[in-house]
Structure 1
């Protein structure tokens, strides 16, 4: 039984690593850039929003929102069917909002 559970967890872990399926809704938003260090960078203007198919961050992963200024805001809406699991690091120089009707789990080692 333990082997089956372990294999199942390994099979789903890549699905949880980084946000996927971004569609710009409002404002200036760059396509997500995967940096050499494995972090995901999203650049945006002053007031932006995007829809995501999924928005989770696995342990050890890092998502960076680089916004126009500290007064900028970015609204992220998850339109997929899965909840968000924030287990890694989420950083920004402005305000970030995440809406997911399927729930948001913030893990004990998450950094926001």
Structure 2
């Protein structure tokens, strides 16, 4: 019994420093997650919000559901979207995923490798 109590005595003084040292890896993991996950997500959310605020009549957009159309009317929360001739739907402003980028169908140019390697 005396051996167990004696062994716990000197280690108790170093326990405070050892306890903080055990949190250092946890703190480092949080810092890595912040810079790799949280910060880029916040930056992307700000860009999307700025895009939504800059929407204008005539912009061609795509909804999160995959519907492509042209904006014919705007309000604070609702957008009127013309998806075909004389076919207009109302969608929430938050449902807009991004601008409609037309694909030209032309294949991407490949970089030519020099002959002879």
Higher percent of residues as helix: 2
Structure exhibiting the larger radius of gyration computed from Cα positions:
2
The normalised TM-score by structure 2 is 0.25
**Bigger relative contact order, structure 1 or 2, given CA contacts below 8 A and separation 6+?**
1
Higher percent of residues as strand: 1
The normalised TM-score by structure 1 is 0.26
